[in-house]
A = this chain, B = another copy of it.
Amino acid sequence: MTNTADFAPRDFGDDFSRPAGWLSAEDITSARGQLPLVYVDAVPVRVDEAGDVISVGLLLRATDSGHITRALVSGRVLYHERIRDALLRHIEKDLGPVALPLVPASPQPFTVAEYFPTPGITSYYDPRQHAVSLAYVVPVRGDCVPQHNSLDLAWLTPEEAVSAEVLAEMQGGQDVLLRQALSHVGRLV
């Protein structure tokens, strides 16, 4: 999770055409200060025939100030949306319509990332809100094309992904979450 400016178009945009009962942008801004929001984090990976993780996909984005950041696929779960549908929607939004993600059969996440608006309470930080994010490793089989708000999608080996340079470009504790994902799949370096 990065700063509001980066994320706002992505998170808010798809709400505007929702039926009555869905939150307006103002309402969600208000809720963000009063309730924990439900999020999903997806770590896109390529796997070999035996399921072993070969590479990890990280999105590249530019902040307003021109810094390059790297991010996992991440976003809010909407009212009346299943976790698995939220995963599909956010992966399609970030990796394009033919990424062919293999959403896990089980809802058990590998961890729960608790993003607090106050740094230091957990490993995760989001100045905008308190988000409780269910984190999944999601193999993708198809062609991934970074979408509008991303400059690129880089596929890195587990070794490359946990290099100090790459981790330093991640925000809000997603560097920790990435390493947890690699730990979970037995590829912690």
Contact = CB atoms under 8 A, between A and B. Distances in A.
Interface of A: 21-23, 27-28, 31, 33-38, 45, 47, 49-53, 77-85, 87-88, 102-112, 114, 116-118, 121-123, 130, 132, 134, 137, 139, 176, 179-180, 183-186, 188
A79 to B, nearest CB: 6
Contacts of A102: 51, 102, 139
State the oligomeric state as a number of copies. Answer: 4
A119 B184 CA distance: 20
A contacts with B: majority SS: loop
A54 to B, nearest CB: 10
Contacts of A27: 34
Contacts of A50: 82, 84-85, 87-88, 103
B106 A109 contact: no
Contacts of A23: 34-35
A84 B117 CA distance: 17
A45 B106 CA distance: 12
A94 B28 CA distance: 31
Given A23-B35, A38-B38, A77-B132, A112 B111 contact: no
26 contacts: A21-B34, A35-B35, A35-B37, A35-B38, A35-B79, A36-B77, A36-B78, A38-B38, A47-B103, A51-B87, A51-B104, A52-B84, A52-B105, A80-B116, A82-B114, A82-B121, A102-B139, A106-B185, A107-B111, A107-B112, A107-B186, A108-B110, A108-B184, A109-B112, A111-B186, A180-B184
